[in-house]
Structure 1
């Protein structure tokens, strides 16, 4: 059974509350499965996953049902996948090597989902024009998060000592980061959309645009990735391929229609449409991560000491490129 938020989204599309873009990414669609298959999909309410709003409608004729399960953090989604509770999960680029370093053989990378430039969000009244300006500042971080990996890797490549500033660990979702910045508890935050745009639009923060931390060679600008369980790839492969087919088609349609992307973003995150329009401008839908880049990330994470061993050599054996290739063949 699909969850209520997904059902509401589909009803909203049908009612015209979300502009349904022309799905033209593929000339043909896959044949329906002989019997209905359910895929349990773990996800987060973040803007670059807005294509999920259109997927079930495309899968209905193919005899594939998706049961959506919301998680607030990538790490929690990874844990659920490893526990066997999910077939497909949206996680951060670090989660595949973390799973492998924990000795798991149950997770396989499929594709990335989107990219964007990433800037610290700085409290108004505080200047941060160069990496040297980090010195002595209080910076809110979520240790072990995807954005933290991007930030830490960029500091290393720019020879910025991590102890030159005070890292303030913030627990909970992105709203806690905005609250800390607004209260003045921190000078800057390293967070994710839509929580990056909120302080800017509400007038208490600004982007430090000279400090793009999506540019490191080892991590890059990928916002997240899609992974699947080993069991799902073995037992529900045809359904997984159809899910990816639908996701890629929805992703392309939203990439081609900024208004539809903003409306799907608002429906997916629950945010105001005007805020969604601004936040969606920063995101490029579509994968930029490759198995080679994922391996480079795994090596960097080991060097950062976040994972205890270098599992970069295992990445190629735990990345199934044939799923996307087959989905694109229709």
Structure 2
């Protein structure tokens, strides 16, 4: 099931450039509908509405629990922009859609299997026979599955337990002893550690596979928005990058924004935000490797790596950075 050849490519550098000059306000104002999730790497999202309004863009945020739901809404024409998983561009292309345009990545982090206290996870071989909670088809599952391929760990060597719903369900399963480890996302990685029933299995890091990489998410736009609301999308990207840069420089403000976004306790937000680096590490070449990898895995219907360049528009970020 997991035969795969991947290219050996190093980690891409984080984008460190400051944004360019502030764009002129639009008149009349334009409404931009943006889908998002309450995850740490999207903390800038809830801080940009006022600045966008000054630039003539009225931001309408729509919350989604899953990346996949935001992707579906964008493809259906309900959203202008959406935050989705790193593999969602390839998934949309494989489904035959031509209505999605990749804009940029948003952040990265190391990713560890979270083990239940008392369960040994010193090496990848320790997965054997264990019950591991996963969210099939999720962004973190893609990272985990690709890493198993590169480590030559058979997927059937452990018992994959599918968990539905939000990350809290993973933590509850771990706390109750229903599973031995979980593959999830922040803040649901840090919560078991802070509450004393789980730990970061530091030797089981799965966020750095060559095929998938460490990117946590993408911002994508509908083709219609790119064509009919281009100026508004440009101002959205400029404002998002400006806010992202400010949070990168101030960990305290980043933690506060994460707490505001998620509604979690400030101490948990501070712990969870500490492992996230804001700023993209993805590129079209990385997405091509993802597309090839998951076609080989049989997760998506066909290899669409040859279509990625035509579905990625770097000009929005380049203009925002004054290039």
Report the TM-score, using the length of structure 2 for normalisation.
0.94
Separation (CA, whole Å) in 1 of partners of 2:99 and 2:19 = 30
Aligned to 2:45: 52
Aligned to 2:140: 147
Q: Does 1:87 align with 2:80?
A: yes
Aligned to 1:232: 225
Aligned to 2:35: 42
Q: Aligned residues, how many? A: 307
Q: Does 1:241 align with 2:239?
A: no
Separation (CA, whole Å) in 2 of partners of 1:141 and 1:204 = 18
Q: Does 1:65 align with 2:80?
A: no
Please state how far the C-alpha of 1:212 moved relative to its aligned partner. 0.7
Separation (CA, whole Å) in 2 of partners of 1:27 and 1:181 = 46
Q: Where does 1:118-267 land on structure 2 (aligned, <5 Å)?
A: 118-267=111-260
Separation (CA, whole Å) in 2 of partners of 1:259 and 1:25 = 20
Question: Does the aligned pair in 2 maintain the 1:138–1:168 contact within 8 Å?
Answer: yes
1:298-330 deviation digits (Å, cap 9, x = unpaired): 111111110010000000000001111111118
* Structure 2 unaligned blocks of 5 or more: 1-16
Question: Does the aligned pair in 2 maintain the 1:25–1:253 contact within 8 Å?
Answer: no
1:227-256 deviation digits (Å, cap 9, x = unpaired): 000000000000000000000000000000
Separation (CA, whole Å) in 1 of partners of 2:229 and 2:205 = 40
Question: Does the aligned pair in 1 maintain the 2:134–2:141 contact within 8 Å?
Answer: yes
1:142-163 deviation digits (Å, cap 9, x = unpaired): 0000000000000000100000
Please state how far the C-alpha of 1:57 moved relative to its aligned partner. 1.8
Aligned to 2:93: 100
Please state how far the C-alpha of 1:27 moved relative to its aligned partner. 5.9
Question: Does the aligned pair in 1 maintain the 2:288–2:305 contact within 8 Å?
Answer: yes
SS at match of 1:30: coil
Q: Does 1:305 align with 2:305?
A: no
Aligned to 1:279: 272
Separation (CA, whole Å) in 2 of partners of 1:298 and 1:39 = 29
Separation (CA, whole Å) in 2 of partners of 1:27 and 1:40 = 24
Separation (CA, whole Å) in 2 of partners of 1:61 and 1:110 = 22
1:2-57 deviation digits (Å, cap 9, x = unpaired): xxxxxxxxxxxxxxxxxxxxxx9446310001211010000000011001122112
How large is the RMSD of aligned CA atoms in angstroms? 1.0
Question: Does the aligned pair in 1 maintain the 2:116–2:175 contact within 8 Å?
Answer: yes
* Structure 1 unaligned blocks of 5 or more: 1-23
